[in-house]
Amino acid sequence: MTPEHLTLLTLGVFVIAFLYSSVGHAGASGYIAVMSLMSMAPASIKPTALALNILVATIGSWQFWRAGHFSWRLFWPFALLSVPCAWIGGYVALPGHVFQRLVGLVLLYSAARFVLRPPPEQQPSEPPRAAALAIGGGIGLLSGLTGTGGGIFLTPVLLFMHWARAKNAAAVAALFILVNSISGLLGNVTSTGQFPSFALVLLVAAGIGGTIGSHLGSRRFDPVMIKRLLAAVLLIASAKLLL
């Protein structure tokens, strides 16, 4: 990778971490979008996105836990099977064209999630244990395969099924992203025996962007505008991968 490409990628990661953290996400789909637009190899995209996700999700998990929004009772049924399934997904190396199509669909779905509004909040009910285990396992596998943490899928499930309020869903999703990203990255490194060295520079950018974004996003920024900007980036990247 040339210094010019690394500089552009570092700037892109900083912006994505800044924007995503301001709306309560870790940013994997955004990192994948930036790396895909720069035509990086899938073998480098997956572990890099997972590593960046781990850092930003750690920041988000800590903030939501301190604010008192986290529920262990809601979290563990979804996480129990997701962690080993994320390891399996991280271990599996998909063919390049399959990876591109699958990630393209994930980015397209992510863009739609930023455009659609969540349903009005109701009194949450406890999810059926079997459903939580199955959903968690499926999301974990998908997160490992694509290099995402799975929060972009878990959050709408919790909200649309009325299993959690918005802040509780965000708190559970933040830790869900963290544990699945760790598991997926371990599976990937176990399979390939490699980790991109340039990711260390990106981790610094993501940490700074995530810290600033999570601070300012909860106080000053208009979340609607941020989500629209993110949706535009994701749509461009998904179109590049799918077409």
Please provide the average confidence, as pLDDT, over all residues in the chain.
87
Segment (H or E) for 178: helix 166-192
pTM comes to 0.85
What ranges make up the beta strands (E) of the chain?
none
- The DSSP annotation for 125-174 comes to -PPPHHHHHHHHHHHHHHHHHHT--SHHHHHHHHHHTTSS-HHHHHHHHH
- Give the pLDDT score at 217: 62
Check: CB of residue 225 under 8 Å from CB of residue 217: no
**Looking at the 3D structure of the chain, how many domains does it have?**
1
User: What is the rounded distance in angstroms from the CA atom of residue 56 to the CA atom of residue 208?
Assistant: 9
Instruction: Determine the Cα–Cα distance for residues 43 and 129; give it in Å rounded to an integer.
Output: 35
DSSP state of 70: -
For 200-231, the pLDDT digits (tens) are: 999 999 999 988 887 776 566 666 666 677 67
For 29-71, the pLDDT digits (tens) are 889 989 988 888 888 999 999 999 999 989 888 878 887 888 9
**Domain carrying residue 64:** 3-242
State pLDDT tens for residues 93-146. Answer: 888 888 888 988 988 888 887 777 766 767 889 999 999 999 999 999 999 998
